[in-house]
Amino acid sequence: MLKERINFLIQQKGMTRKTLVNGLVTLPHFSNILAGRYLLADDIAKQLGKRLGVTTDYILRTEDSSLEINNQADKFFRQVVLFQQMNDAYVASVPEKNDALVIELSTALMKACYFQATNNRASYQALHEIYLNFYLENFDDSSILTLPLPLRKAFFYYKLQFYRSNSKLEESFGYIERLLPMLEEDAEIWIAVKKIEMEVLVVLRLFDKAKKSFEDTLHRVQTENLSHHLSSLYIAESAYCFYLKLYEEAFVNLAKAEEYLVYMNDSAGSYLVTIFNNRILMLIATNQLVSAVQEVERLEKYLRQQKNIDATFWTLIELHKADIALAGGSVTTLEEILAGLQKANKTSDQVYAVKFYQCQLALLQENFKAAEALAEECLPFFEQANSANRLILIYETIAICAEQTRQYKKSSDMYKKMTQLLKMN
């Protein structure tokens, strides 16, 4: 790890190894120090620190992986994975530098995961450009396996989330498989990653593996009396059943998830919103539109009883109403809802959801030029999100609009993509 830190500092300073060690040691001798074959003398470390603009300890303690250091690195790893006591102010307060690279680099990796989860793209990009890109390029998977355990865990968690966010789920699952054996002793962290595994396996349509993952996790939850995880597990099982078109079982599992909320603490509210949201989407997908309207009303009533609700939750309500109006072919209602959403507070996901409904409204109104433009505008977002249901309609929209302007090859290409997605789903 000393070699990587020294190389990073050399790069930051815009110097060469030869310049750094000039008058201190020979280049071959220095290479042997970085390779761990020779010890780094304190006086040499002091001179290196001066030339690199860091303290002597920042050089000498680079490879410190004592129990205290590992525990400190593990603490932040655990907080981010479980999202405990996490907010922007707290993350900003965690020091970026540490004499021990185990702490410094694992902290940077987990901060990146936090920025990704909170959609803070500016901070995510800056962290990579200033610091992380160098270490990601210099530690491949085989070298990661030689690192202290806390840093190994941080690297593999970062990678599974990176590939998951980019819809490269096979790669994400590969890192999940590597990470889980390292987490066996910490039930809470292990369960958190198993939940991600279930989601990934369902989307990959590896249903037998998804079922086994659920059963293994449920067994541990029941054996170790971790009942506060039951709701989230049954939410995951519900999604699994829905993918298999076992609709009745999917709804039953959502009911179980709602029932088990009594075992949860302050996070029960956010899980209840998830249950409402999933049930609404399932009802719309199965064309139970009257029941979907009733469920939206239940969710709206629940939110009105809460304090300090983020404005984007009301946008979510309107988007559900738009989905129901579209499914029911109610053009006037859809038009009114979209007009109301123009000035609403929206997350980046919701911005593209609105564009999707605008595209579908334009198609229903036979405004083919506007429909095609909106469809192409939101296509990259939904392709990256791997949102099959949305993509099928977007491909169909572009195909229909292309036909109207006699772009027959483009239309054919879109119909092919649509057919491929329908076969996969």
Confidence grade of residue 86 (pLDDT, cut at 50, 70, 90): confident
The mean pLDDT value for 91-109 works out to 96
Model pLDDT for residues 223-249, shown as the tens digit of each residue: 999 999 999 999 989 988 988 889 999
The pLDDT of residue 264 is 84
Please report where in the chains the tokens 């690199």 appear, as a residue.
52
Model pLDDT for residues 153-202, shown as the tens digit of each residue: 999 999 999 999 888 999 999 999 999 999 999 999 999 999 999 989 98
**CA proximity to 206, closest of 232, 169, 252, 168:** 169
The pLDDT of residue 160 is 97
The pLDDT of residue 371 is 94
The pLDDT of residue 425 is 65
Task: Kindly tell me if the per-residue pLDDT of 39 is higher than 70.
Answer: yes
Task: Kindly tell me if the per-residue pLDDT of 9 is higher than 90.
Answer: yes
